[in-house]
Chains A and B, each alone.
Chain A
Amino acid sequence: EPEVTQTPSHQVTQMGQEVILRCVPISNHLYFYWYRQILGQKVEFLVSFYNNEISEKSEIFDDQFSVERPDGSNFTLKIRSTKLEDSAMYFCASSELANLGGNTIYFGEGSWLTVV
């Protein structure tokens, strides 16, 4: 079964450093998303991306965050200057179409980011 793949599975970084999390969405999917889950808390929406631009972003997704689809297969989340509170599991997801009805969102296994 097709799946969303994410790398790295775990990254430890120093506060203030830049981090890039990578994702390969399912190949025929057109909508891409990043979510995060701080330990013990809810899964939170960060950003959605379609047709090479951001469709929607949450208040969490401030200027330190950016997303990019650098080629036909990868979708990246960059955190410019990490803070301790950025420590979380980051999930990439994709869907064939927007959820205007019945399109399942498929999630990757997550990238666990620890900022020290």
Chain B
Amino acid sequence: KQEVTQIPAALSVPEGENLVLNCSFTDSAIYNLQWFRQDPGKGLTSLLLIQSSQREQTSGRLNASLDKSSGRSTLYIAASQPGDSATYLCAVEGTGGFKTIFGAGTRLFVKA
């Protein structure tokens, strides 16, 4: 059974800092891994999707990497801003079906 773990659970950083969020998954048989952002009481916004054959994806100040064999992904946020404050969720789509399994998220607070 696929398990997704995110470390740290919470993070508080000063504005401008570069930071890394970590995600690990137990079953490497995945189609893809997706990073989402969730603001309090809101829906999920897709940030980046990495296919199983890819190593990384970039969008603006965000860079996500995937090491499928070791079951790890990182989300790198450059030059963090207060507007980046949110919960970041990692989710994997397994090869066994149509469902996406989520981690518990990392709650990020960027101080101005």
Contact = CB atoms under 8 A, between A and B. Distances in A.
A43 B98 contact: no
Given A45-B99, A56-B97, A102 B43 contact: no
Q: Which of A48, A99, A101, A105 has the most CB of B within 10 A?
A: A99
B31 A101 contact: yes
A42 B99 contact: no
Interface stretch (B11-19, B20-28, B44-52, B68-76): B44-52
Interface residues on B, range: 20 to 34
A110 B43 CA distance: 6
Given A58-B99, A102-B51, A110 B42 contact: yes
Interface in B58-100: 89, 91, 93, 97-100
A43 B99 contact: no
B99 A104 contact: no
B49, B52, B105: residue with the most chain A Cβ atoms closer than 10 Å: B49
Interface in A92-116: 93, 98-102, 104-110, 112
Contacts of A55: 97-98
B109 interface: no
B51 A44 contact: no
Contacts, number: 64
A75 interface: no
A35 B101 CA distance: 10
Centre residue among B32, B44, B45, B46 by max chain A CB count within 10 A = B44
Given A91-B43, A104-B46, A107-B44, A45 B101 contact: yes
Contacts of B98: 31, 33, 48, 50, 55-56, 98-99
A102 B32 contact: yes
B89 to A, nearest CB: 7
Nearest to A10: B41
Ranked 10 nearest A-B pairs via Cβ:
A48-B98, A45-B99, A107-B44, A109-B43, A99-B93, A43-B102, A102-B51, A56-B98, A56-B97, A55-B98
Interface of A: 31, 33, 35, 41-45, 48, 50, 55-56, 58, 91, 93, 98-102, 104-110, 112
19 contacts: A33-B100, A35-B100, A42-B103, A44-B102, A45-B99, A48-B99, A58-B99, A91-B44, A99-B100, A101-B52, A102-B51, A104-B49, A105-B34, A105-B100, A107-B46, A109-B42, A109-B43, A110-B43, A112-B41
